[in-house]
Amino acid sequence: MNVQLLDRYEIVKSLGSGGFGDTFLAKDTQIPSQKLVVIKRLKPANANSNTSTELIQKLFEKEASVLEDLGEHNSQIPKLYSYFSNDNEFYLVQEYIQGVSLNEIAPIGSEQAKTILSSLLTTLKYIHGKGIIHRDIKPENIILRDSDHLPVLIDFGAVKETMGAVTLGSGSTVSSVVIGTRGFMAPEQSSGRSVFSTDLYALGLTIIYTLTKKLPVEFSSDQQTGQLDWQSHVSKIDSVLAKVINKAIEMEPSRRYSSAEAMYQALHSLISSGAEPALPMETVRVAPSNEFLVTRSSTKTAETVVTPVGNSHNNYSNNNGKSKIATLLTVLIGIIVVTAGLGGGFIITQQIKEAEARAAQAEKEKQEAEQKRIEAEQKIAEDEKRQRELEQKRVEEERQRLAAEAERAKQERQRLAAERQRVQVLANQAKAMASGASATIGGIPGSKNIRSGPGTDYGVITQGYTGEGLDILDSSTDSGGHVWYKVYHYGSGSTGWIASQLVNF
C-alpha cells in the first residue's frame, strides 16, 4: 500500500475495519528487522458532540497505559509498543500474533477445548486481578500462536469504549456505545453494566463455538430459562466440561461462576481426575493413484486432507499424454524385442528389476536412517531427562545438607546458651557464698520475679537470676496457701517476696 504513519510504520495490508476504526498490518521501518506490527486506528464515535478531543485523548491514554501494563506482564496478551494521535484519530501499535483464530480451527474435540479453556482462564485471572474486563471475547479475538500454540487474547473492548465518550449536562462522562459482539454478549452488557462474569459468559459461548462451529444464535433455547441447546450438536462431550460451560453461560450473573479462579478450579478438578489433554488426531485418506499428494489444511484443523495436484482438466490432459507415451513405449519395446530377440528382452527385464531393487533398497535405507534419527532423538531426550533427574537429586541432597547444617548450628547455639547459663548460675552461687547470703535463687536457669507482696497478685519490683544470693527476712502464704519468702536480693539491693520453690538453702 506504500502508506506510512509517522514516517515509520509502512502499511502492508488491511486486516479489517469496523464501527470504531480500522486495523492494519504494518512494518516498523525504523528497526533493522522491520518487524511486523498491528496498527489499530480508532475514530471518536461522536465527533460532533460536546465531548472535547482533550477528554477523549485523556481517556485513550489511560486505557492505552492499561494495555501496556497487561501485555508487559503476560505473554498471552499482545504487547503495546506505542500509541499516538493524529488529526483527531487515535492509534495503537501492538505486537503481531502469528497464528490462527479459534474461528478458523473449529470444530475441535473436548480435550483440546479443555486445554484452551484452562489456558484462557489463567489469562482472565490475571486480567480480572487488575480490575479489567475484556468485554469482547469471541472466537475471532483468540489466536492460537504458531510458536507455542498458546491462546492469545486480543482486541480489548475498553480502549474502543473511550471512542464513544460523551459529556452529560451534569458534567459527568459516560460512553454512548456498547462494546461487544451480538450472540457472545451477556444480557447485562447490553445495558452497559459489565461484570467479571460477563467475560466468563462470552468465553463459555466461545468454547461452545469451537466444539460445534455454530454461533449462539443458531441454537434453540428454553423459552423459560433461556438455556441454549448446544450439546445435541456435539457427538461426544465430557459431561463435567458441559457442566462447567453451562454454568458459565447462565443468563443471571449471580448464577455463573463468581470469578475466573472459581471456573478454573472447577475445570482443574476435571483435568486432574481425567486423562491429559488430547492432541489433534490426524486422519489420512490415501489416494488411489500417485496423482494426489498429502497436504495440511491452511487453517490447521485436526484433519489432514488429500488434495489433487492441479485441476481436473490438467489431470485429464496428463492422463491422455501418459496414454500416448505408454503406447509409443509399447511399440518401441516390440521393435526392440523383434530385432534383438530374447536376449534383448532379458536385458530390459533385468534392468527393470535392478531399478526396482535399487528403489526398494533406497527406501529401506531411508527408513533405517529415519529410525536411527528417531532413536538418536529418544536417546538425547532420555539423557536430558537423566541429567535433569540427577540435577534434581543433587539439589535435593544439597537442600537436605543445608537443612541438617542449619539444625546442627541451632543445636550448637542452644548448647552454648545453656552452658553460659550454667556458668552464670555457678558464678552467682559463688558470689552469694562470698557475700554471706543465707540462700540462693533456684529453679531452672533464667530470670525469676521478685514481687512487692506474697503472691502473684502483687507487682514485680525486680528480677533475680538463678544462683544469686538472698537473705530470708520473713515468710507468709498467698491466698492459695503457697509459701512465700520475704528476701533481701543481693543482686539488685531490693527487698521483696519470692515463691518458696524458687529458693535454695
Amino acid at 183: G
How distant is the alpha carbon of residue 62 from its chain centre?
A: 26
The kind and range of the H/E element at 96 are none
Q: Torsion angle, CA of 378/380/385/390, rounded to 10 degrees?
A: 140
Judge whether 483 and 497 are in contact, CB under 8 Å. Answer: no
Q: Which three cell numbers stand for residue 186?
A: 451477556
Active-site option among 22, 28, 136, 148: 136
Q: Which three cell numbers stand for residue 173?
A: 462522562
Q: What is the spatial distance between Cα 433 and Cα 356, in angstroms, rounded to a whole number?
A: 114
Pairing of β 4-5 and β 503-504: unpaired
Nearest to 26 by CA among 126, 96, 114: 96
Sheet strands (E) in 102-141: none
Known catalytic residue at 146 = no
Q: What is the spatial distance between Cα 291 and Cα 297, in angstroms, rounded to a whole number?
A: 18
Measured CA to CA in angstroms, residue 391 lies from 186, 387, 394 at distances of 50, 6, 5
The residues near 176 (Cβ < 8 Å, ≥ 6 apart) are 45, 46, 49, 164, 165, 166
Question: Residues with catalytic annotation?
Answer: 136
